[in-house]
């Protein structure tokens, strides 16, 4: 003979187990969503377009390559700063930029990562090209405007968001950024997957 009391206890215990399991799963997903939202808010608060633009101005405004190190150093981690100095002191790069001077930041378009601490920037800037002439000849100066696209990877250090890596990139679609293909760029970034935010200051 079936003990109905025991059956009811088993049924209620089974149902209680299902409810408990459901609540545990629900709590897990809510916690994950909250963590993701908090991370996004932290990025939003730490990586303001004003801070990124301030770095770009410090990075691009210079008399010649290397003359602005004190200006952009506060925005970089120690590793990124040393890497940037190494790039500037590369003999091939120095030869390429030896006749360029008076760099001036003009404007930029910024694209922020939604969850990762990454900013893509396409910068428009001007610079003067000076021909190599003899001492008694007057130098000829040509002013040019160029676009440059960068991937800035940030890292939180001692409560501050600092740039940990600077990379040259190709941005896709090219027509949106105005950036021509650069043979030295490591890859193409799909801006359609990024949160777009423009800054033309």
Q: Which position has the token pair 């423009």? A: 198
Q: Over 80: is that where the pLDDT of 157 sits?
A: yes
Residue 111 has pLDDT above 80, yes or no: yes
Report whether pLDDT(38) > 70.
no
Higher pLDDT, 10 or 114: 114
Report which of residues 174 and 49 the model is more confident about.
49
Q: How confident is the model at residue 189 (pLDDT cuts 50, 70, 90)?
A: low
Q: How far apart are CA 126 and CA 76, in angstroms?
A: 23
Query: At residue 133, does pLDDT exceed 90?
Result: no
Q: Give the pLDDT mean for 17-42.
A: 59
CA distance 184 to 201: 28
Tell whether the model's pLDDT for residue 82 goes beyond 90: yes
Contacts of 122-126 with CB under 8 Å at 24 or more apart are: 122/147, 122/148, 122/149, 122/171, 122/177, 122/178, 122/179, 123/56, 123/60, 123/147, 123/148, 123/149, 123/150, 124/178, 125/60, 126/102
48-199: CATH topology is Nuclear Transport Factor 2; Chain: A, (3.10.450)
Averaged pLDDT, 49-55 = 92
């Amino acid at each position: 003979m079936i003990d109905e009391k025991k059956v009811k206890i088993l049924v209620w215990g089974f149902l209680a187990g299902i409810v408990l399991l459901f609540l545990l799963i629900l709590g897990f997903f809510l916690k994950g969503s909250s963590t993701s939202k908090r991370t996004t808010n932290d990025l939003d608060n730490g990586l303001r377009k004003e801070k990124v633009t301030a770095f770009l101005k410090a990075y691009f405004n210079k008399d010649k390559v290397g003359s602005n190190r004190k200006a952009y150093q506060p925005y970089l981690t120690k590793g990124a700063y040393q890497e940037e100095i190494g790039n500037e002191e590369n003999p091939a790069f120095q030869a390429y930029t030896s006749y360029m001077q008076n760099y001036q930041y003009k404007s930029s378009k910024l694209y922020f990562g939604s969850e990762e601490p990454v900013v893509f920037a396409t910068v428009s800037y001007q610079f003067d090209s000076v021909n190599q002439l003899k001492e008694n000849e007057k130098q000829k100066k040509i002013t040019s405007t160029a676009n440059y696209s960068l991937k800035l990877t940030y890292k939180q250090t001692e409560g501050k968001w600092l740039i940990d890596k600077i990379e040259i990139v190709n941005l896709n679609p090219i027509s949106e950024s105005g950036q021509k293909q650069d043979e030295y760029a490591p890859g193409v970034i799909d801006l359609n997957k990024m949160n777009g935010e423009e800054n033309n200051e």
